[in-house]
Amino acid sequence: MYETIISKVNEESLNKAREYILNGELVGFPTETVYGLGAIAYSDEAVKKIFEAKGRPQDNPLIVHVHKDYDVDKLVYVDYDYVYKLREAFLPGPLTMVYRSKGMISPVATCGLDTVGIRIPSSEAAQRFLRAVNVPVAAPSANVSKHTSPVTAMHVYEDLKGKIPLILDGGKCTGGIESTVLDVTTDTPIILRSGLVTADMIKSVVGKCGYSQNKPTDKIRAPGMKYRHYCPKCETALFKRNQVALAQKLYDEVKAKGQRPYFMCDDAMLSEIHGNVLRLGSTAEEIASNLYDKLHESEGLADMLIAFEVETGSDVDVGIMNRLSKACKKYE
Ligand code: TXA
Ligand code: MG
């Protein structure tokens, strides 16, 4: 057991973070997407602690974070020239590229794959942390496996207190959903996980972009496991936008039983429903940035969270719906 300290990002806390990371301990740190749970990516023992602290399945590989001046090509092979264009256009930022690995990263992090995902986060706090440690940091989101991803230091604390020595507090994450994961080991880059860097944005740079919800590792994961993720600790029901009457009926029934229902939706739906609402906002970027925060908020407020599918017309909707449909049970 650790006494978990939350500390603002400053010289003193960064020194501590460096000491912990270089000694093979875990540190929670902010990025522009969600908080990460970091360990030195060279060490099997250190990386194992991430899987233990999260209760993460051993066959789901971790991505590796470095600061913006780090020589990524020490770690990976660049097979296609479009990679340089993507780096130029989107990095630092919420785009993780999966390359062929040169084998320096712990096989515990890559789950024995010959590829590795590299991420260069853009937030100043993440950059300061990565520069202070100056080693590649393996990091998934800093939550207990299956729970909603953390977008504040307090969210990390609630899930991981006692399990890690330090959480660097950089305030609320602005991006809100995890980075886009893009396979760059083939002639056409393939999106493995959607995020704020969208297929359209990648196409505009490379001229082409494929899309796959099936990661190479899916076949070895337990069937069904991949469908629930990001879940708040309350009952949930996800409705289509044309199911307002049904959703309102559920709200009223839950309320009549003396329990606490809450709606969660984007602003375009507000005028159609009656009751307490967690507002996601109106633009896709705003909705992405609020999604996990509102899911966390629902845990203290609601017995039943009644959510509506998001549809703004933006390409970012894909990433939002990918998370929302795993976080909330489809109403049937
Ligand atoms: O925004 C983010 O990406 C956050 C912050 C902390 O940087 N990190 C994050 O990590 O979301 P994680 O571990 O929760 O998600 C990494 C995703 C997983 O879906 C994993 O299956 C995939 O990337 N992944 C990692 N390495 C891979 C590889 N070599 N091949 C295919 N997929 C990989
Ligand atoms: Mg995660």
Q: What is the tens place of the pLDDT at every residue in 122-176?
A: 999 999 999 999 999 999 999 999 999 999 999 999 999 999 999 999 999 999 8
- Per-residue pLDDT, 217: 44
Question: If pLDDT is split at 50, 70 and 90, which confidence band does 218 have?
Answer: very low
Q: Is 149 in the pocket of ligand 1 (CB under 6 A)?
A: no
Q: How many whole angstroms separate alpha carbon 21 and alpha carbon 49?
A: 12
Q: Which pair of structure tokens corresponds to residue 327?
A: 């976080």
Ligand 2: centre distance to CA 188 (Å) = 26
Ligand 1, atom nearest to 192 Cα: 32
Residue 225 pLDDT more than 60? no
Q: Which amino acid residue places its CA nearest to atom 13 of ligand 1?
A: 140
Instruction: Give every CB contact of residue 295 below 8 A, 6+ residues apart in sequence.
Output: 148, 230, 232, 264, 305, 327
Q: Which H helix or E strand runs over 199? A: helix 199-206
CA–centroid distance, residue 275 to ligand 2 (Å): 31
CB hemisphere CA count around 147 (13 angstroms): 22
pLDDT of residue 227: 61
Mean per-residue pLDDT of the chain: 95
Banded pLDDT at 212 (limits 50, 70, 90): confident
Mean pLDDT of 222-238: 76
More confident of the two residues 1 and 283: 283
Q: What is the pLDDT of residue 226?
A: 52
Share of the chain above pLDDT 90, in %: 92
What does the pLDDT look like over 92-122, one tens digit per residue? 999 999 999 999 999 999 999 999 999 999 9
pLDDT above 60: residue 220: no
Q: How far apart, in whole angstroms, are the C-alpha atoms of residue 185 and residue 91?
A: 18
When pLDDT is averaged across residues 206-229 and rounded to a whole number, the result is: 62
Determine phi and psi for 330, rounding to 5 degrees. Answer: -65, 135
Please, which residues bridge with residue 27 across strands? 38, 166
Residues for the chain: how many in total?
Answer: 332
Q: What pTM value is reported for the model?
A: 0.94
Give the residue, by CA position, lying nearest to ligand 1 atom 19. Answer: 193
The pLDDT, as a whole number, for residue 213 is 56
Pairing between strand 64-65 and 115-119? Answer: parallel
The 10s digit of each residue's pLDDT in 23-69 is 999 999 999 999 999 999 999 999 999 999 999 988 899 999 999 99
